[in-house]
Amino acid sequence: MEYDEKLAHFRQTRLNPFDRGEEEDQPEGGKATQQHEASAELFSETKTHSSDRTMDLGLAEDHFSRPVGSFVASDIEQLKLAIEECKKLILELPEHSERQKDTVVKLIHLRLKLQELKDPEEDEPNLRVILEHRFSKEKSKSVKQTCDKCSTIIWGLIQTWYTCTGCYYRCHSKCMNQITKPCVRSKVSHQSEYELSICPEIGLDRQDYRCAECRTPISLRGVPSEARQCDYTGQYYCSTCHWNDTAIIPARVIHNWEFEPRKVCRSSMRYLTLMMPRPVLKMKEINPLLFNFVEELVEIRKLRHDILLMKPYFITCKEAMEARLLLQLQDRQHFVENDDMYSLQDLIDISTGRLSCSLTEIHTTFAKHIKLDCERCQAKGFVCELCKEGDVLFPFDSHTSVCHECSAVFHR
């Protein structure tokens, strides 16, 4: 009888070295002795080979391996208990000791195993198409991202995640089947225009007190979820669809020349980012009075008009084509096509002064080629047909006027 009791006690200690449930009835000396024996048994100091070290950590036998088919909830619970016991043991062991280091390694393996059970890694395709999103499987393991669907952190080391190549929507592999929002790039391709009303709010009651995107119940009191307004659409969203991102609102720029970033929802943030370089704002029609109050706009309009007058010289000049002078404006291709269309990025750069500096430099380079460097372009100059005097005139000179019917150039 006594032998059976000892054998049962030995098996319990051997199979669950972290179980200290029976320590409550033992004296302090007995507790310390049992804890020491359990720790010594778990973390053997034999280090003859790397495989022996694995055996010492209890990793050679995968006690928490996933059974054939589906796993049961008890596996996860056992892992959580073992992790908590590992944490306590790390604090109790001497700092920087070998046993403490071994316990940390054990803790890492237990956490990885727990995550594997929660989010099992499967063979995922490299490319998936969902609601016009073209998701590409990411290979980065170190960069920490946030899932746009569930708003939790993506742990690239142990989780599979995807990024849409069109709108840069990021999400876990397990969240992809829950996506309900189409790709924003398709909207940009089919409907390239801004909302030009400043914060067109319709009210929470018109939204039935639900998020405008996912239809989650929301309220201004934060119960059950906080209602956050998007300054671009004027609608209200839940905290999952609205992360308090900020962006410059086109309507405020056009009507008030205001560039202060405002809070917008995630979908509006992606839409505004993709629309930023697109020249879709015709300022003469939307708000022509803005040119009377913003001197920088008038300066840019004059420089763009001159560049359009220089363009015929470069198209017919062999040297200019070989030098590819017009490629200096390849980032703003619309500048060599018209002088009245602007992108939101153009207006931002005008307000900061960056566009004026770069465009003035390009204008100077173009004029120098036509008037000084190239004989062919110089030969295409004009002589004032009224006074027949003065230097050779060019249509982009500041002191000239051009006939709109015959394109003749005169002194102003």
Segment 331-351, tens digit of pLDDT? 898 998 988 899 999 999 999
For residues 355 and 348, give the distance between their C-alpha atoms in angstroms, rounded to a whole number: 9
Q: Which of 119, 154, 152 is nearest to 137 (CA)?
A: 154
Q: What are the residue boundaries of the structural domains of the chain, listed by start?
A: 81-118, 127-184, 192-276, 286-380
DSSP state, 290?
Answer: G
Local confidence band at 412 (pLDDT 50, 70, 90 cut-offs): confident
CATH superfamily of 192-276: Zinc/RING finger domain, C3HC4 (zinc finger) (3.30.40.10)
The region of weakest confidence among 28-42, 234-248, 288-302 is: 28-42
Local confidence band at 292 (pLDDT 50, 70, 90 cut-offs): very high
Local confidence band at 355 (pLDDT 50, 70, 90 cut-offs): very high
The region of weakest confidence among 149-163, 212-226, 337-351 is: 149-163
C-alpha dihedral sign at 244, 245, 250, 255: positive
Average pLDDT, the chain: 78
pLDDT in the model for residue 307: 92
pLDDT in the model for residue 406: 76
Cβ distance 20 to 35 under 8 Å?
yes
Query: Is residue 5 over pLDDT 70?
Result: no
Q: Inter-axis angle of helices 354-368 and 344-352, to 10 degrees? A: 90
Query: Is residue 256 over pLDDT 90?
Result: yes
Q: Residues 217-239: what's their mean pLDDT? A: 90
373 versus 385: the higher-pLDDT residue is 373
pLDDT in the model for residue 117: 65
pLDDT in the model for residue 404: 75
Contacts 24+ apart (CB under 8 A), 209-215: 211/236, 211/237, 211/238, 211/240, 211/241, 212/236, 212/237, 212/241, 212/265, 213/180, 213/181, 213/237, 213/238, 213/241, 213/265, 213/267, 214/180, 214/238, 214/240, 214/241
59 versus 294: the higher-pLDDT residue is 294
Query: Is residue 68 over pLDDT 50?
Result: no
186 versus 171: the higher-pLDDT residue is 171
Local confidence band at 297 (pLDDT 50, 70, 90 cut-offs): very high
Local confidence band at 141 (pLDDT 50, 70, 90 cut-offs): low
Query: Is residue 73 over pLDDT 70?
Result: no
Query: Is residue 113 over pLDDT 80?
Result: no
240 versus 140: the higher-pLDDT residue is 240
Q: Residues 40-60: what's their mean pLDDT? A: 40
pLDDT in the model for residue 116: 62
Query: Is residue 188 over pLDDT 60?
Result: yes
Q: Residues 164-186: what's their mean pLDDT? A: 84
Q: Residues 93-102: what's their mean pLDDT? A: 86
pLDDT in the model for residue 144: 73
pLDDT in the model for residue 53: 40
pLDDT in the model for residue 65: 42
* Other C-beta atoms lying within 10 Å of the C-beta of residue 309: 18
Highest mean pLDDT among 105-119, 207-221, 344-358: 344-358
The three-state secondary structure class of 346 is helix
24 versus 399: the higher-pLDDT residue is 399
Query: Is residue 37 over pLDDT 60?
Result: no
Q: Domain 127-184, CATH 3.10.350.10 — does that match?
A: no
pLDDT tens-digit map of 41-50? 444 443 333 3
Query: Is residue 143 over pLDDT 80?
Result: no
The region of weakest confidence among 6-15, 252-261, 263-272 is: 6-15
266 phi, psi to nearest 5 deg = -65, -45
Percent of the chain with pLDDT over 90: 30
Q: What number of residues does the chain have?
A: 412
Highest mean pLDDT among 153-157, 159-163, 187-191, 233-237: 233-237
